[in-house]
């Protein structure tokens, strides 16, 4: 088993995509041919319209463990130089950043595919829970079958 790659951060604080991108770019600088990044945001509709923000809870310890397993799976499937995952928790307002996934590789195909794979499995497996806030109060978000289906499709490819 090769050494695990990847950086995982669970934090309340916001993040800078540019800083994360520059960190990915600086590591393995001469070998990187492609960097793919994804950012998830708080939007104004979810299970209901009029979302004003959300509260994010997670299972400390299991979250990091689960995300490392996802990174390890991606690294065994594609040639990756580095992976960075940031997931915010706590209270988030409308249009704030929730999650960052960044992947560096020699090739764009590996970077594109692995970034999507990591996000799909993060949504299906990592122990985070969202509670949406609107002007009537707040409600826990229902898990979507479509999110499980998106992760499942990778095992068929």
Partner 1 sequence: MKILFFASLRERLNTEEEQWQDLNGAQTAGDILTQLQTRGEPWSSSLNTERLLVSVNQEIASLTTEVTLNDELAFFPPVTGG
Binding residues for partner 1, rule: CB under 8 A, are 40, 56-59, 61-62, 65, 87, 98-99, 119, 122-131, 140-144, 147
Angle among Cα 97, 23, 118 to the nearest 5 degrees reads 55
Taking the complex as a whole, how short is the minimal distance between the CB of residue 24 and partner 1, in angstroms?
Answer: 20
Q: Please identify, using beta-carbon distances, which residue of 56 and 113 lies nearer to partner 1.
A: 56
DSSP state of 103: E
CA-to-CA distance for 51 and 23, rounded, in angstroms? 33
What is the closest distance, in whole angstroms, from the C-beta atom of residue 66 to partner 1 in the complex?
8
The least distance separating partner 1 from the CB of residue 81, rounded to whole angstroms, comes to 23
φ/ψ of residue 23, rounded to 5: -65, -45
Q: Which is nearer to partner 1, 44 or 47 (CB)?
A: 47
Phi, psi of 156 (to 5 degrees): -90, -25
Pick the closer one to partner 1 by CB: 34 or 39: 39
| Cα–Cα distance for residue pair 89/110, rounded to 1 Å | 29
CB-nearer residue toward partner 1: 75 or 126: 126
CA distance 81 to 74: 11
Distance of alpha carbon 91 from alpha carbon 107, whole angstroms = 37
CB of 2 to partner 1, least distance (A): 21
Residue with smaller CB distance to partner 1, 111 or 122: 122
> Whole-number minimum distance, CB 46 to partner 1, in Å?
10
């Amino acid at each position: 088993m090769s050494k695990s790659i990847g950086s995982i951060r669970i934090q309340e604080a916001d993040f800078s995509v540019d800083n994360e991108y520059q960190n990915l770019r600086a590591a393995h600088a001469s070998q990187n041919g492609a960097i793919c990044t994804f950012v998830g945001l708080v939007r104004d509709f979810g299970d209901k319209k009029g979302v004003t923000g959300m509260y994010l809870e997670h299972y400390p310890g299991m979250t990091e463990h689960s995300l490392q397993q996802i990174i390890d799976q991606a690294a065994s499937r594609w040639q990756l130089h580095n992976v960075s995952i940031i997931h915010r928790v706590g209270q988030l307002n409308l249009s704030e950043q929730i999650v960052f996934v960044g992947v560096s590789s020699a090739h764009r195909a590996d970077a594109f595919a692995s970034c999507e794979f990591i996000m799909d499995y993060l949504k299906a497996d990592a122990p985070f829970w969202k509670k949406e806030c609107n002007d009537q109060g707040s409600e826990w978000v229902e898990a979507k079958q479509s999110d499980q289906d998106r992760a499942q499709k990778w095992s068929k490819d």
